Structure 1
């Protein structure tokens, strides 16, 4: 190796050695990091409400349509020509019980009644003659000096036949009188005509429907109730071993509201019974509310009648339930529980039974008096974790 190349080789080796020493010094000479304890996070601050359970009666909101309590078809029981009708015999007309609404021609039935009266008179004459002959035959038999005689000689069969003929004639007379009375068609209740099918001058046959009418003394509303709503009410239930419709300890009152002619009107009623079965499609129970005298006009009031077909909203008075707590709606967690703060300042999940709720509040049971319920965002508190309670505790329970 020439001196020139030897010189370059020594220089390169020196650079490599010096660079390696510097790199080793940098890697091994830096200070070792000391472990540090992470700062502890402060417990979340929550707002609480001190539970004060109290007895409360919660009302139930539902809705339905007004229906007549009784609605029937008025049917002609006899044939004939319609010769008259009452002024109330119009759609929407009001009538009184037993008021003649339609009059059918009576001539044929008056003739039938006259013939029946004649038959009754003839039958009475025949019976009287047979009884006279029987008395005469009895005297003749007695004059023969014996006490026994056959029934035919004493005309007992003839008398029995005459009596039967009289009864048949009287029945025909009653039938003719009944048919004559049926020429005047009426309803057995105070009501209103909802539909009419015949008019004056029309011939009707037996069984012809002349009108449809409903009673105006009582209106009813079928109100659907969910299972949760039923738990809040004291409904009148029926049992097959009771002598009457099962009565609740206190019949629930109901307030009906309806919009009519741009104004909101109110009626008072009561829940009188429930439907015979549970709806197969919706699984709801129908409670029936009745309103007395729905068409009566109140003095000094412009309230319209509670007519069938009117859509109403209903507020039903509930039964009193003990130990109910009122909470903000946002206190409820997605799993149906609320968070309470125990004596060790730790959050604990508490299942509750939600009786009713709206967009702002809820009414629950399952919380004891004095328990602190988290009413701020309950998701910031973890069950078993410590929390800091806001100094401003709120007392709650009743509305």
Structure 2
């Protein structure tokens, strides 16, 4: 029995000794240091509020076209006798150049006939004047008093005078018809299309081709009501317009002026079209740099229109404006202020604020989750400074950090 107790007691003694050693070692372990964990104020990025005068810009786009377009047509009929070398698609010409010439033999004959008819009518008039003078002399030799108009052949004289006027009109018509066999350019321009060729017979009113004037180019720009609100009155001033496009990887610009709007809203798009004029788009009359590019008709361009100027405007990135129309600022105590602002305009990148911001505050540029008025914050660079009065411990109990 005692042997059995000895066998069972030895393991228990070993276990008790192990527990005693464990407690002894635990008592020798150094107690961990206790540190206070401080919750810092929310870190924000902010910049001072700057007020200034903003020259607003309005952006649009459109295609270049000629201000004057003419479909050349004939005023007489005949066979095409000659065509000018520059009367080809894309050919340039000057005002008064003969582009197409018709056979004029018949019209020269008509001119001779008209001249002969005028000469005959003039001779008849001279003869009638002589007869009237003879009749007047005869009346005075045989009668006393006022002679009748018929006796002096005045009706016959008036008839011959009318015949002369008709002959003169016929002569003028014959001269015009002869001149109309030469179709001349109405202005300096270029040929858009040509619809006639040598030997072709054309009738009165036949369309020979379409030509464009190169004096002034136009660009029709669609403008919304918001765009128009930021433009000056076009009846008083013509805003400057910068037209641009990319050519061979380079941005090329031209200068024009917004001269008018078309006064009627487009029924489908509900926009109004403004018209920009560019003088001498093909650089034919003005001195230009050697590397200057002509503004060709049909080119698609972007337009930047100079608009009105507004003072005391704050320009901020668009992401600073919150969905509820507020902007966060930081006051002199480094506390958040939620400001309801008046937005004069927004575009793709910026928001233009005219009222609602304190110039002594700073605008918060970074995102702040769940902000509230009086929320303490800190700025970049404050990490190395002493904790502010707003920085408080997370709780009153020390937290062990192992």
TM-score of the superposed pair, with normalisation by structure 1? 0.78
Instruction: Please state whether the residue corresponding to 2:151 is helix, strand or coil.
Output: coil
Of the three residues 271, 274, 277, the one matched with 1:284 is 271
2:342 matches 1:352:
yes
Which of these residues, 73, 76, 93, is aligned with residue 91 of structure 2? 93
CA distances 1:38-67 after superposition (whole Å, capped 9, x unpaired)? xxx998665544433211102222211111
**2:388 matched to 1:388?**
no
Deviation per residue, 1:261-314 (Å, 9 max, x gap): 343222111111112312222222222111111111665533332111111111
CA contact (8 A) 1:45 1:388 kept: no
Judge conservation of contact 2:261–2:274 (CA < 8 Å) in 1: yes
C-alpha distance after superposition, 1:98-144 (max 9, x if no partner): 11000000001101111000110011111111111111111221223
What is the aligned partner in structure 1 of residue 387 from structure 2? Answer: none
Q: Give, in whole Å, the separation in 1 of the partners of 2:368 and 2:168.
A: 88
Q: Secondary structure at the match of 1:219?
A: strand
For residues 302-359 of structure 1, the C-alpha deviation after alignment (integer angstroms, 9 at most, x for no partner) is 3332111111111122221112111122111223343456789563341322423333
The answer to whether the 8 A contact 2:341-2:357 is kept is no
* Cα RMSD, aligned residues only: 2.4
Q: 2:184 maps to what in 1? A: 186
For residues 66-110 of structure 1, the C-alpha deviation after alignment (integer angstroms, 9 at most, x for no partner) is 111111100011000000011111111000001100000000110
2:219 is aligned to 221
Structural mapping, 1:9-158, within 5 Å:
47-158=45-156
d(CA) in 1 for partners of 2:67, 2:223: 20
Aligned residues: 339
Deviation at 1:163, TM superposition (A): 0.8
Matched, 1:366 2:343: no
- Give me the whole-angstrom Cα distance separating, in 2, the residues matched to 1:293 and 1:83: 33
CA separation of 1:164 and 1:45: change in aligned 2, threshold 3 A = same
> Aligned match of 1:172 in 170, 184, 187?
170
User: Closer, same or farther in 2 for the Cα pair 1:275/1:371, shift >3 Å?
Assistant: farther
Q: Which residue of 1 aligns with 2:30?
A: none
CA–CA distance in structure 2, aligned partners of residues 336 and 114 of structure 1: 86
SS at match of 2:98: coil
Would the alpha carbon gap of residues 204 and 197 (structure 1) be closer, same or farther in structure 2, given more than 3 Å must change?
same
Q: In the alignment, is residue 335 of structure 1 matched against residue 324 of structure 2? A: yes
Q: Give 1:265's match in structure 2, choosing from 240, 252, 255.
A: 252
Q: Are the equivalent residues in 1 in contact too, given 2:339–2:357 (CA < 8 A)?
A: no
Q: Does the C-alpha gap of structure 1 residues 113 and 170 become closer, same or farther in structure 2, counting only changes over 3 Å?
A: same
Greater mean deviation of Cα atoms: 65-74 or 52-61: 52-61
C-alpha distance 347-163 of structure 1, shift in aligned 2 (>3 A): same
Give 1:8's aligned residue: none
Quick check: 2:221–2:273 contact (8 Å CA) kept in 1? yes
CA–CA distance in structure 2, aligned partners of residues 369 and 97 of structure 1: 64
- The equivalent residue for 1:11 is none
